Amino acid sequence: MDLKILEAKSVTKYFHDPITYQVLKEISFSVNRGDFISVIGKSGCGKSTLLYILSTMDTDYEGDILIDGESMVNKKEAELAMVRNEKIGFVFQFHYLLNEFSVLKNVMLPGLKSGKYSEAEVEHRAFEKLKILGIESEALKKPNQVSGGQKQRVAIARALINDPLIIMGDEPTGNLDKKNSEIVFNIFQELAEVYNQSLLIVTHDNEFAARTHRIIEMEDGRIIKK
């Protein structure tokens, strides 16, 4: 089913510090359900900037973003937070787990925030997600007690907890060794193929990109190849 879940319409962005510089130039593209897309390009070509605009965290741009057919322009900060909570899952280069909470609780937090399910249900769902990622045995440990690769998997589980429309990743394997990168890639692939999960991953790793369904290559703030 070709359903557009994310659409960028001529997104343009400037950096003003130290000098005004156009970092994104009229970027337009769309993501369909089940797409596994990687965005590649050299450092400074604007791919991370694009990702943060798409993720609604950066609101200083021109053009329009549609998520699930809804425009993100003119939404308030709290509404954008809701969109991020319910429709977008994030995986960053660094895992950003909260050491104060157990692995399970870390996964649960966005679920609890959304308030769609009761605490018991959220806990159950979080456990299910950890199971998919094969780290259910670490559920009650603190994040600083599990390995780097496992941490990244916990972060993926956290991204999945609210069944997002799309998972966005900013160099999710950037900090991982070969073996763990492979594990993470396999998880993404499984999510895309088995669960029909859309993924948009920014990466430096051309090998990683080559195995995704679609590659968007950027240079100097433009998409040069879709």
Partner 1 sequence: MNYKLIADISRSLLFARWKQTLVAAIGVTFSITMFISLLSFMSGLNDLLDGLIINRTPHIRMYNEIKPSAQQPVSLSEEYRDHYNFISKVKPKKERLEIYNNAAIMNYLQKDDRILGIAPKITTQVFYNVGAIDLAGAINGIDVEAENKLFLFQSYLTEGNYVDLKNTPNSIILGKGLSEKMLADIGDVIQVTTSRGERMPLKVVGFFQSGLQDIDNTQSYASITTTQKLLAESGSYITDIQVKLKDINLAPELALEYQNLFDLEAIDIQTANSQFETGSSVRTIISYSVGITLLIVAGFGIYNILNMMIYEKMDSIAILKATGFSGKDVNRIFITIALSIGIFGGILGLIFGFGLSALIDQVPFNTQALPTIKTYPVNYNPIFYVIGAVFSIVTTYLAGYFPSRKASKIDPVIIIRGK
What residues have CB less than 8 Å from 198, skipping those under 6 apart? Answer: 5, 6, 31, 32, 33, 34, 35, 36, 37, 165, 166, 167, 192
Beta strands in 33-91 (DSSP E): 36-41, 62-67, 70-71, 88-91
Name the 3-class secondary structure at 14: strand
User: Judged by CB, which is closer to partner 1: 189, or 205?
Assistant: 205
Q: 10: left (phi > 0), else alpha (psi -120 to 50), else beta? A: left
The answer to whether residue 90 forms part of the interface with partner 1 (CB under 8 A) is yes
Q: Which stretch binds partner 1 (CB under 8 A): 47-55, 129-137, 146-154, 202-210?
A: 47-55
The answer to whether residue 44 forms part of the interface with partner 1 (CB under 8 A) is no
**Size of residue set near partner 1 by CB under 8 A:** 33
User: Judged by CB, which is closer to partner 1: 21, or 94?
Assistant: 94
Provide the 10 A C-beta neighbour count for residue 58: 14
Copy the structure tokens of residue 75.
């939404």
Q: From edge to edge, which strands make up the β-sheet containing 166-170?
A: 88-91, 166-170, 198-202, 36-41, 214-219, 222-225
End-to-end CA distance of the chain: 20
The answer to whether residue 152 forms part of the interface with partner 1 (CB under 8 A) is no
User: Judged by CB, which is closer to partner 1: 73, or 210?
Assistant: 73
Q: For partner 1, what does the binding mask look like between residues 8 and 27, x meaning CB under 8 A?
A: --------------------
Considering only residues 162 to 191 of the shown chain, the ones binding partner 1 according to CB under 8 A are 162, 170
Provide the 10 A C-beta neighbour count for residue 30: 13
Q: Which stretch binds partner 1 (CB under 8 A): 2-10, 32-40, 96-104, 143-151?
A: 96-104
Considering only residues 105 to 144 of the shown chain, the ones binding partner 1 according to CB under 8 A are 109-110, 112-115, 119
Q: Which stretch binds partner 1 (CB under 8 A): 24-32, 90-98, 132-140, 144-152?
A: 90-98
User: Judged by CB, which is closer to partner 1: 171, or 217?
Assistant: 171
**Nearest residue to 162 (alpha-carbon basis) of 217, 107, 213:** 107
User: Judged by CB, which is closer to partner 1: 48, or 197?
Assistant: 48
Contact residues toward partner 1 (CB under 8 A) are: 48, 52, 55, 57-58, 77-78, 81-86, 90, 92-94, 96-101, 109-110, 112-115, 119, 158, 162, 170
